[in-house]
A and B are shown apart, each in its own frame.
Chain A
Amino acid sequence: MTAPVSVAGLRSAARAWPERKRRVGTSRDRTDVRADLEAVFRSEYARVVAVAARVLGSRDQAEDVAQEVFLSFGRSSVPADEAGGWLTVAAAHTALNLLRSGRRRSAREEAAEDGPTVVPDVADLVVTREERRSVRAALARLPHKQASALVLRHSGLSYAEVAAALDMSPGSVGTTVRRAESVLLKELNRHASPE
């Protein structure tokens, strides 16, 4: 059963994307789906799921968010060459809204979750399931802009792209991301930085 997923995130993605891009809106009829949807879907699906999964910590929920994001994209007239950025921003906003809506994950999802994540090239960075959960709780409490900047940056957007997507000055992206990271690490109770 698919959970109802917010489309408000998309609206704010559209709002946040630069003016030039914003005008392209989502104005098509319900049944009028853009012709390149399948091609874009197949090339961008994994990326969109990964962005949402970073926020939600759950692959199932991330796939639900991806459905919602591509549904909106299919009805939009976003230029094809801007699809990647648009989808990334939309996935981040939609997933954050879902996370912040406080909907609890089902016991089944919790149980199905796999064990600790090990980042292959940084072998000593082992994050436990408990830690991942508290990081998400902290993410849900961050101011929206901080959370979005953090997720977009960790999803591979450049500083200039994050700035454009969130209507910030490029100079403030680093500060915002750094602050968000500090808050999240406080939750993990282990600052890696020497203080």
Chain B
Amino acid sequence: MRHPSEGVLRRLVDEPAGVTDDDRAHAAGCPTCLRALDGARADAQLVGAALATPTADLDADAAWARLSTTTTAPVRQASVARGRWRTAVRRPAVAVLSAVVLVTGAGVAAANDWLPIFQTERVDPVEVTSADLVQVPDLSAYGDLQITEEADPQEVADAATALERTGLAVPEVAELPEGVTGDPAYQAAGVVSGTFTFSAAKAAQAAAAEGEVLPPPPAGVDGSRLRIEAGPGVAAVWSQPTGVPTLVVARVVAPKVYSSGVPFETVRDYLLSLPGLPDGLADQLRDLSADGGTLPLPVPAELVTSSIAEVNGSTATVLTSRDGLFAGVVWVEDGVMTGVAGSLSADELLSVARGLR
């Protein structure tokens, strides 16, 4: 009979009873399988040892006291909400955003050179759930993402230095909202660019690891390349003495995507069909990409609501956290994206946005 798979052998290490009698009997009498079984056992022990972290002598009383204080103290709300917000918008969202930016865009006929296929003209929220964020495949699993230029964000002394480094003027706030005081810290970041080369072999591997089968890639997709470019950007950040940012005003040269090789729609439709991308999200992205200038902004629907407002002639997206603690306004004008966000109400932020100079 055929040798049992390495997954079966792995289970044999932990749960012999979970493996079929046939597999167990085969493994017991097959030198190849016995060797593989030994390897699996040794690997498992080594990983177990590497993960082991001493936690003896925990002070459960002190920990319980800490928890009791928290469960009865509603003041913690702000910090919990902040953590949730940050987590929701940080890493997974960035992964989604980069995937999404790469897979959406105007259809192009066959392109042999780098062709601009997507130039941000507006921003549209795409509602996802946190579960979707976890599910969306990390693009690096489907090919090679090579960052060719790093943004190298740095705090700079003042707005003039930020301008000098990036060529972008930090928007000036006409009147600070109530509760926002002091001088802002200035951040400047350069251009970030990267090339994504699709690899059918890598994608098949990633799919297999998740127990899925990769749909066969259309001709020419394997090895096709997409190039993304974003930045530079500048930001002014006002914070409370505790370090919690109260107001952030940022301006960034909006992302652009270029394609080489196969028709872009082919790549997009294929990427959207990969296992791991939730169906609803894929549909939304497909709809969005009919308009090649819309940057889809993934928004965790259960945490944030979105609406539209007008900021000095541009259509802006307004995001408000459901607990009302945070809001943000973002819009694009002439390829430059401007955002205002903070622990303020949407109205306050809109008035800051409309008063920017």
User: Which residues of A are in contact with B by a Cβ distance under 8 Å?
Assistant: 2, 4-8, 11-12, 15, 30-31, 33, 37-38, 41-42, 45-46, 49-50, 53-59, 62-63, 66-67, 70-71, 74, 97, 100-102, 114, 117, 119, 122, 125-127, 131-132, 135, 143-146, 150-151, 153-154, 158-160, 168-179, 181-182, 184-185, 188, 190-195
Contacts and interface: CB of A to CB of B under 8 A. Distances in A.
Interface string B99-140: 000000000000000000000000000000011011001100
Contacts of B21: none
B9 A5 contact: no
Contacts of B313: none
B191 interface: no
Interface stretch (B64-72, B154-162, B222-230): B64-72
Contact of A185 (B14, B38, B47, B74): B47
B83 A6 contact: yes
Given A119-B49, A173-B7, 14 more contacts: A6-B87, A11-B302, A38-B64, A41-B60, A41-B67, A42-B60, A57-B53, A66-B63, A117-B53, A146-B209, A153-B14, A170-B18, A181-B47, A184-B47
Contacts of B79: 2, 4
Interface in B303-354: none
Listed from nearest, the 6 A-B pairs whose CB atoms lie closest are: A193-B39, A4-B83, A175-B7, A174-B7, A192-B42, A172-B211
Contact of B133 (A2, A8, A125): A8
B67 A67 contact: yes
A50 B91 CA distance: 25
Interface residues of B, number: 63
Contact of B47 (A59, A100, A154): A154
A127 B47 CA distance: 9
B54 A59 contact: yes
B42 A193 contact: yes
B67 A178 contact: no
B1 interface: no
Given A50-B55, A143-B210, A178-B7, A127 B50 contact: yes
Interface in B18-75: 18, 35-36, 38-40, 42-55, 58, 60, 63-64, 66-67, 70-72, 74
B146 interface: no
B77 interface: yes
B87 A192 contact: no
B334 to A, nearest CB: 33
